[in-house]
Structure 1
Amino acid sequence: MINRKYEDGGVTDVLARGAEIVIEPVGDKRGREAFVDLGRAFSDRLPHFVPQIRAEQIELVDPAKNPFFGHARVQLFIAKQGGKPVGRISAHIDELALAMPAEQGFGPGTGFFGYFDAEDESIARALLAAAEAWLVGQGMHRVLGPISLSIWEEPGLLVKGQDHAPMLLMGHHPAHYAGWIEAAGYARAKTLYTYDLDITKPFPPLVQRIVQSGHKNARITIRKVRKKDWDAEVATILGILNDAWSDNWGFVPFSPAEVAYAGKKLRPLIFEDLNMIAELDGRPVAFMLTWPDINAALAKIRGKLFPFGWITMLRWLRFPKGAGMRVPLMGVLKEFHSSRLASQLAFMMIEEIRVQATSKYSSTRGEIGWILEDNQGMVAIADTIQSKINREYVIYERSLG
């Protein structure tokens, strides 16, 4: 039996057997660094995990640097047992998510947990209880997670696909976390998929015919992203994204500060011939982003830039030969969603990217995702190009009475 005592936003769990578990709120720079380092220590145990750059991870939980904090309330917690760190969790409330319609997944009264790691189930329960207590204290009546921190960063818990390394910005978690979260009273809210694709093979004849038909249409232009006009291109892409995804489950619009931040962060990973904008009569109506998988380089340097890791990274960023390719985002303006044009533009962009990736970068593998389980349009596209589900993530929910 676990007795819970809530104090100052934290929780102390006294177990009938074993040492006391103390959950401490994190509130300063040293605490945030300890929070990140604890997560890195947990992740380092996992087969196929790829260490990320520590400074980048610390920046994501720094209110002074991550613009997510401009519209969010966040509390980080570290669990200790016998004075030793044994787990961590975040509790957060996104004001933009609160403003969304409830039928789209978030809405009024919905908070989140994320950055979830625990040594055992009793510690997991204590951490979840701490996050829930903080959210209730902030007026929330429902919790979703894990989402770390924004829905656009690393949503969901990996429940299938631990047998291979994740690509860039994809979470990697041990399989037993799912059982602990479900045992604490959480149910599946939504499942997200990523799809694996052998890009050395031509697409099926049906797709080839659709692509060829599109190229014969003088109204359609598929062009590369122009880095010399980077700020304008970012605005175009995110404008399409905010329109195309606006009815999707879990959608939260990007704030202007987040647009600028994302543009700056992503620029080094943007290779013009791997990112496409589709125009209809000269008007941008669709886009597809593709990132070479930097995790392959990070694995070599174990996430450490110094003393010599930066050399490996610079070489990779100049020319990522043989890199896997991840398609994290695509969108078509909502006005075209029920038309044949939407899928045609998607096929045209992905075919152009496939050709560039294989011919110029010697790539052999692509990954598309994540994709919502009930996004029928994107699931149909993934099925038509004969890609296969290779990773499954779950976002859980629970009512807070």
Structure 2
Amino acid sequence: MNIIEVVNDSQKQLFLDLSRILYKNDPNFACPLDGEIDGIFNPKENSFYKHGEAIRWILTNESGEPIGRIAAFINTNKAYTFDQPTGGCGFFECIDNKEAAFLLFDTAKNWLKERGMEAMDGPINFGENDNHWGLLVDGFIPQGYGMPYHKAYYQNFFESYGFKVFFEQYSYHLDRTKGLSKRFLKIAEWIAKKPGFEFEHFKFSNSEKYINDIIEVYNEAWKFHDNFTPIDIEDIRKIAKEGKGILEEDFIWFAYHEGKPIAFFVTMPDLNQILRKMNGKLGFWNKLKFFYYLKRKTITRARITIMGVVPKYQRFGIESAIFFHMNEAIKKKPHYTELELSWVGDFNPKMISIYESVGGVRMKTHYTYRYLFDRNKPFKRTPIIPLENRGTKASEE
């Protein structure tokens, strides 16, 4: 077996093609777009390179055929906020061969150790944790856009190597055809109409205002978190720009108190329902196909990716009020029959309670693992978020 750093176009193609090879006959798999994955490893496209570095490798057999891959990265804004400097590994794929898997893990570990890291989390993303984060261990069904899908045998690879579960990630599904409970809607409507509170949805015509509102809420809601790093406004601008024509404006909601933004709620159409027909390619003809399926209302599921409320207002039931407005918006688009509420960490009981109170059913579980290089050092799971000083966020890490 040969481990090769990905540096040229042919190696990049091998890295991308491996997932198509491994999941060729799996109807649940939606291949991520090649451009999206390549963009993560492009300093011109990924703002995390401003405060970090990344590398990726492909593993080949004696015939030069790809049999595994992995990436490693260091986010210096976050690496030193833990008990030990911690990097990450991700985009792991491998044939069912433990020797090959361990060689990939060793390669990532050694690269991180050479750069002063003392632990690695995985599989994670060199970016925000709402995409490509965690190992699927339960619920091997079609994943929402951004949520990773894996081979069932990967769990044994990670745990046999010595990774331990740092936190669990849950995805809930809500059957829109059944509607929300009458009790929940009654309470939510009452909260939504309280004096001094206003709710409005995103509008592309005034996108810069809403982008700044997201930044303000985000920074206020999570500044107390042990591993908090401010969100990059350019990342939000990029998402808004690329999402024009795809995002539903009234699926992104904001709450205000006396004119001040206090919460936001982002829901995105599940593009995987179309992308699984594209096999990771988005050339001219596939772009035409994409917008054809989009116009035909092929997408029937939306994924809630993030929800935030500043601490001062988290006991006001703002989340319920936003769900109320979201529910009213979805009623006008009956082709959306399902909501995926993902992901929420096991360390965030408040969000779990909210998801369950609206009727969400836990359908999928991902694990984020941590591997300590010093095998004698005591392992600590991520702590539960105290209610008194945390904003509400589903995918908080």
**TM-score of Structure 1 vs Structure 2, range by shorter chain:** 0.7 to 0.9
1:311 CA displacement: 1.9
- Which structure's residues are more often strand, by fraction? 1
User: Partners in 2 of 1:302 and 1:174 — Cα distance?
Assistant: 18
1:31 aligns with 2:11: yes
Change (3 A) 1:360 1:48: same
Partner residue of 1:14? Answer: none
1:78 CA displacement: 1.1
1:160 aligns with 2:133: no
User: Partners in 1 of 2:85 and 2:170 — Cα distance?
Assistant: 27
User: Partners in 2 of 1:389 and 1:160 — Cα distance?
Assistant: 10
1:190 aligns with 2:162: no
1:299 CA displacement: 2.3
1:373 aligns with 2:335: no
User: Partners in 2 of 1:251 and 1:373 — Cα distance?
Assistant: 18
User: Partners in 2 of 1:23 and 1:81 — Cα distance?
Assistant: 9
| Aligned positions of 1:1-400 closer than 5 A | 21-82=1-62, 83-100=64-81, 102=82, 108-119=84-95, 120-150=97-127, 151-162=129-140, 164-248=141-225, 251-306=228-283, 308-317=285-294, 320=297, 323-337=300-314, 339=315, 341=316, 344-400=317-373
SS of match in other structure, 1:115: strand
Change (3 A) 1:84 1:212: closer
Contact 2:130 2:343 in 1 (8 A): no
Paired letter, 1:114: G
How many matched pairs? 371
User: TM-score, structure 1 length as denominator?
Assistant: 0.86
Paired letter, 2:69: R
User: Partners in 1 of 2:325 and 2:138 — Cα distance?
Assistant: 30
User: Partners in 1 of 2:327 and 2:238 — Cα distance?
Assistant: 28
1:227 CA displacement: 1.1
User: Partners in 1 of 2:279 and 2:133 — Cα distance?
Assistant: 23
1:58 CA displacement: 1.8
Shifted more, 259-268 versus 51-60: the winner is 259-268
Change (3 A) 1:81 1:249: farther
Contact 1:268 1:317 in 2 (8 A): no
SS of match in other structure, 2:88: strand
Change (3 A) 1:315 1:242: farther
Which structure 2 residue ranges, 5 or more long, are not aligned?
A: 375-397
1:383 CA displacement: 1.3
User: TM-score, structure 2 length as denominator?
Assistant: 0.87
Change (3 A) 1:284 1:307: closer
User: Partners in 1 of 2:305 and 2:276 — Cα distance?
Assistant: 20
CA RMSD of aligned residues (A): 2.1
- CA-to-partner distance for each residue in 1:285-314, whole Å, 9 max, x for gaps? 111111111111222344433453222322
1:141 CA displacement: 0.6
Which structure 1 residue ranges, 5 or more long, are not aligned?
A: 1-20
1:321 CA displacement: 5.8
Paired letter, 2:212: A
User: Partners in 2 of 1:28 and 1:235 — Cα distance?
Assistant: 38
Shifted more, 127-136 versus 108-117: the winner is 108-117
Change (3 A) 1:44 1:334: farther
- CA-to-partner distance for each residue in 1:91-128, whole Å, 9 max, x for gaps? 1100111243x2xxxx6510111010111111000000
User: Partners in 2 of 1:29 and 1:71 — Cα distance?
Assistant: 25
Paired letter, 2:91: Y
User: Partners in 2 of 1:378 and 1:81 — Cα distance?
Assistant: 45
SS of match in other structure, 2:178: coil
User: Partners in 1 of 2:249 and 2:338 — Cα distance?
Assistant: 19
User: Partners in 2 of 1:371 and 1:358 — Cα distance?
Assistant: 25
